[in-house]
Structure 1
Amino acid sequence: MRNKNVRAKSLASKLSKYKILLQSDFIRPHLLETIEFTEESLLRMIEKYSFIYIKPVSGSFGRDILSLEIAKEPNTHYVVRNDDKILWKGNFKESVYIINAYIARRKFLIQQGIRPFEYKGKHVDIRVFIQKPDKLWIVSGLGVKVAKSKNMIVTNYNQGASILSLKDYLSSGNFQHDFIKINHVLEELCLEGGEVLNSYYPRFRELGFDVILDEYLKPWIIEVNTKPKYEMFREIDVQLYKKIDRYHEDILRQYKKEKASFKKVDKIYSPFNGKRID
């Protein structure tokens, strides 16, 4: 029997969400390997993938994300970046020192790096926004976030990313004929993700999946936001944005009703032993 958290409306830990999603046979092939940061795990991951990300365990709005890659020219060395800024070039031991100094004993994770199918040489990821205004999850919005400039990996809307439709993004690489297939896979992947996360956190009713397509157009889930923003969809379609906002207001009303019912239960039952209080 799964241990459900019936009250939580959000979950900050990227590692916790990753471990839950791993349990789905359908989703597992689309997950980037993600583990807790240690010096030992850093060595193992960079040797395995040659390119990795080092991120805060909890959400950082795109800030404090490092990348580490093995470069071969002119000689083999390691490159540490913070977004578009190179922090260090050198050997592995020196790179670890720089990374540890940057992290400063905060909790970080390591994630497998994937080079995305870019848009005009810029880093891209796809936001799939799903909502559960009633009994079933629906895909309310799907949009593409394009980094502000080349070499940047951050695609947050509030940090200057531009927004595209999926069709325009695919058309830039002459892949518009794949639109229906890719759109369908993205929707199925994220709807399944909503169900899996709901099996542990039944109060989740809005989720934002950040996904990238690799050079073969295979989707990879980067992370899931349990308190997703949706202002970016206004850039694609104002009516779409208004529909999402209406569902959001409906969900907020449901939360308020549940909160009131929880308070009634708390008055009746002891929080220590679950027995009625006379």
Structure 2
Amino acid sequence: MTTGRKASIFLSSKWVKTQVLLQDPKGKRYVPDTRRFGSASLKSMLERYHMVYIKPERGTHGIGVIRAEQVREGKQRYKYQYNKITRTYETFDAFVTGLRGAIGGKSYLIQKGIHLLKYQGRRFDIRIMVQKSSTGKWETTGIIGRAAAPGKIVTNYHSGGRPMSIDLLLAAHVHGEKKKALIQELYRFGVTIAKVYQKKYPNFRQIGVDVGLDASLTPWIIEVNTSPDPYIFNQLKDKSMYRKVMSFRRAQRKVT
């Protein structure tokens, strides 16, 4: 953790950020099974979930994220995708050796794979921006969808993902009042997670909650970003969210 001004506390370790959620009953129910990378934990998780994401403990913009699978079509095989490259292995040992070559000596985590909803064949997730007002009240100030570039597994804007309206992304999966209720739930969800972090780190003033929705529309926390990029909201045609996010940032600077 690094600290500057009180408003700019930053947690770089995804493991530490996951532990914050797991230690709170309101947070842990939304966290996919997450463990440190190792051959035993990888084998166990693939046998249980069949698909996992392997991600660097420290890193941004989706760089270094790998999707790994245990395939049971005929003869059992293992494969992983890194960027747009997919490699397949006949044995688990060869698979682990290949993965270790891809990640080098860095510290990695394994997370249960969430089968994300798709928009025109592209996986998407959701960034919920939560900020503290000048009066100290948490508020969700923006929600935006991020659709992965064709053939890619990560949705981050800096990795080719496309920021999009959440209304548009959800339209193929939920409609009318149900869609409206889901979006309202996500607004409340962001505030709930912000309050979980505030218990441990009371000086936080903003977080970005990255959420994946599965086929049942259950929200899963992919990651919590403690230094979220506000400028992604400027990519939307409607600038109202961007203006609100930036107004909260300006107010925070005045307070600190």
User: What TM-score comes out, normalization by structure 2 length?
Assistant: 0.91
Q: Is the 8 A contact 2:77 2:88 kept in 1?
A: no
Pairwise CA RMSD? 1.8
Residue 16 (str. 1) matches residue 20 (str. 2): no
State the AA in 2 paired with 1:158. Answer: H
1:148 is matched with 149
2:170 is matched with 170
Q: Report deviation, 1:176.
A: 4.1
1:193 is matched with 193
State the AA in 2 paired with 1:64. Answer: G
Q: Report deviation, 1:61.
A: 1.4
Please identify, of 101-110 and 79-88, the stretch whose mean Cα deviation from structure 2 is larger.
79-88
Structure 2 counterpart SS, 1:16: helix
Q: How many residues align?
A: 249
User: Which blocks of at least 5 consecutive residues in structure 1 are unaligned?
Assistant: 1-5, 256-278
2:64 is matched with 64
1:239 is matched with 240
Identity fraction in percent: 30
2:215 is matched with 215
* Cα distance between partner residues in 2 of 1:72 and 1:189: 36
Q: Report deviation, 1:77.
A: 0.3
Q: Report deviation, 1:229.
A: 0.3
* Cα distance between partner residues in 1 of 2:38 and 2:74: 29
Please identify, of 244-253 and 186-195, the stretch whose mean Cα deviation from structure 2 is larger.
244-253
Please identify, of 83-92 and 117-126, the stretch whose mean Cα deviation from structure 2 is larger.
83-92
Structure 2 counterpart SS, 1:129: strand
Structure of larger gyration radius: 1
State the AA in 2 paired with 1:248. Answer: R
User: What TM-score comes out, normalization by structure 1 length?
Assistant: 0.84
Structure with more strand by fraction = 2
How do 1:44-59 and structure 2 match up within 5 A? 44-59=44-59
Structure 2 counterpart SS, 1:26: helix
Quick one: structure 1 residues 24 and 115, their matched pair in 2 at CA, closer, same or farther if it must change by over 3 Å? same
2:140 is matched with 139
Q: Is the 8 A contact 1:35 1:109 kept in 2?
A: yes
Residue 100 (str. 1) matches residue 100 (str. 2): yes
Please identify, of 231-240 and 76-85, the stretch whose mean Cα deviation from structure 2 is larger.
231-240
* Cα distance between partner residues in 2 of 1:13 and 1:227: 12
Q: Report deviation, 1:235.
A: 2.6
* Cα distance between partner residues in 1 of 2:159 and 2:64: 13
* Cα distance between partner residues in 2 of 1:174 and 1:196: 29
Residue 226 (str. 1) matches residue 232 (str. 2): no
User: Which blocks of at least 5 consecutive residues in structure 2 are unaligned?
Assistant: none
1:260 is matched with none
